[in-house]
Amino acid sequence: MVAESAAGLSGSGTVSAAVVDGAASDERTPLLSSSSSGIGAAAGAGAGGDSVDGDGAGVAGDEERVVGVEGGGTFARSLGTVEAFAIVVSIVIGSGVFTSPGSIDTNVPSPGAALLVWFVGGVLAWTGASTMAELGTAIPGEGGVQPYLKYIFGDIFGFLAAWTWVVAVMPATLAILSIVFIESIYSAAGVTGEGDRIEHKLLSIVVLALIGLANSISTKASTRLNNFFVATKFVTIAAIVLAGVVVVVLQLTNPNKDIGGGDWNKKSWFAYRDSVNPDGSVTHWSALGQWELFGHLSAALYAALWAYSGWDKAIYISAELSAPARQLPLAINTSIPSIILCFLTANAAYYILLPWDVVSVTDSVAVTAITRLLGPGFGIAAAILICLVVAGSLLGNSFVAGRMAVAAANQNWLPRMFSVVGKVGTEQETSQADPQKAPESDAPINAIILSTVLSAAYILLGNFRALLTFNGLGEYTFFFLTVLGAIILRYREPDLERPYKTFILIPVVFAIVSGFVVVRGAAFAPTQATVLVALWALGLGAYWAQRRYQGLRSS
């Protein structure tokens, strides 16, 4: 994998100043059109497996695809498989594995069922990521799902995806993580349930601003800092798993020793047991009907999918990979299984370290487990490590958020100032001695400022649970459309060059599950769904106003 990264970095290209013009952004593919556009042709020309054999040829082939179709990329192709792997791990392993176990345990009849939910959630994330890898290696472009939706369904769908991610999904994600960061610190100090206090919100905004500042230096600085956070994540999870292993060994060698939770070797992992809920009520699983049981299991799966959120983020930097047709699938198919293994082993350790009736009533299961095992001092140390884990997820999401806005601006879906890199302002910085020379910094500072300001507004106006549902609705609406589009594309353009192709059942399964997640989320959270629909209406108004303005200018 290190060699893979070296190959990727050695073949990096240069920053292209070319961006799509107004005419290019007006090109649309009709819904379910049977004709192939230039994107498909270019993808087929430059995406073959042989084109990535060797540094120079591979990079040239992929750059030709992007330049020929989208007018050139904003960022240099300077990232390799290791960087893509690290970004996915950094984003996905955030607060979820440390905060979601309680909400999942509350909604399942046994610890074994909880572990199955974690496994199923990971597999579903993997199916979605594999489908995204197929699209990412077949259809070039920056900005995650937006170029795929534009190509499959038309310009307006690409715009709505970009609009939703820039004004809703990514700001809400950053707001959630900033809130969790501050709440983790307060929880370690024994202060809980005060997340709505203005002091907490302002501190969350300070953390958010610092992360934005770190990402404003350069891509190289961001990826190096991200690698540090990835190491921290693996160390934190390894420490939790090791603690669980030590407890198992000690109790097996001395059954009378009172250490850990004690339930793991006395009770069946898959037998029904009564669950204690955070409000003090008790769920008697044997007394529930099938429909009620299904409702609880769907709620548990929803929490698991939140914990795995971020699995799609590798495609957001596909335009910066030196050989995406090879590196993107490799990064996804190594990072997601690694994350699934981390989540399963960490949750198994929680059930070893804690009494089972404690897991369901705590939102800080990792800190609770370490504090109970080793004392308050180690609990504080665990809280510090978890804060670093959340900071890494913040850094990765902020990194991606800026690139999403740049891609949207390059399509003329946002003001052009958000496509500028290396400076704050409305014009791209160039060297007077060498106008073709790239700016010293390639950070999308304007775009990062935009995402930071929007995220701060969400922190001030929202709360953790409301933002969580709002975020999930926005993401999974377009995940569903994107994966559905991948299925449609299989039949509409069977000859489209696909360097990486998944088994057709994989996108079908994910489309069914993601559709269920959206319907269930809208039914249980009508307020957030209404806000999201209102944002879409606002975005459509802006879209048609812009097109009308461009039409008047051209006439």
pLDDT (0 to 100) of residue 192: 61
Kindly report the number of other CB atoms within 10 A of residue 433's CB atom: 6
Q: Assess whether pLDDT exceeds 80 at residue 430.
A: no
pLDDT (0 to 100) of residue 508: 94
64 exposure class (CB count in 10 Å sphere: 0-12, 13-18, 19+)? middle
Q: What angle do CA 549, 552, 555 make, to 5 degrees?
A: 150
% of the chain at pLDDT higher than 70: 79
pLDDT (0 to 100) of residue 256: 79
Choice among 73-77, 358-362, 481-485 with the minimum mean pLDDT: 73-77
Give dist(CA 400, CA 403) in Å, integer. 5
Q: Assess whether pLDDT exceeds 70 at residue 113.
A: yes
Q: Assess whether pLDDT exceeds 90 at residue 214.
A: no
Within 372-425, strands assigned E span none
pLDDT (0 to 100) of residue 194: 66
Q: Assess whether pLDDT exceeds 60 at residue 46.
A: no
The amino acid that residue 275 corresponds to is S
pLDDT (0 to 100) of residue 412: 82
Q: Assess whether pLDDT exceeds 90 at residue 241.
A: yes
For 301-343, what is each residue's pLDDT tens digit? 888 888 898 788 777 666 677 777 788 888 888 999 999 999 9
For 8-39, what is each residue's pLDDT tens digit? 333 333 333 333 333 333 333 333 333 344 44
Backbone angles phi, psi at 60, to 5 degrees: -60, -45
Instruction: Give the residues across from 283 on adjacent strands.
Output: 275
In order of 104, 145, 469, 522, the CA distances from 526 in angstroms are 22, 25, 10, 5
Q: Mean per-residue pLDDT for 190-209?
A: 82
Question: Domain 2-554: what homologous superfamily?
Answer: Amino acid/polyamine transporter I (1.20.1740.10)
% of the chain at pLDDT higher than 90: 25
Please tell me what DSSP assigns to residue 139. Answer: S
For 520-546, what is each residue's pLDDT tens digit? 888 888 898 999 999 999 999 989 988
In order of 28, 138, 325, 329, 501, the CA distances from 490 in angstroms are 19, 11, 18, 18, 10
Q: Where are the domains of the chain?
A: 2-554
Q: Assess whether pLDDT exceeds 80 at residue 290.
A: yes
The alpha carbon torsion through 242, 245, 249, 252 (nearest 10 deg) reads 160
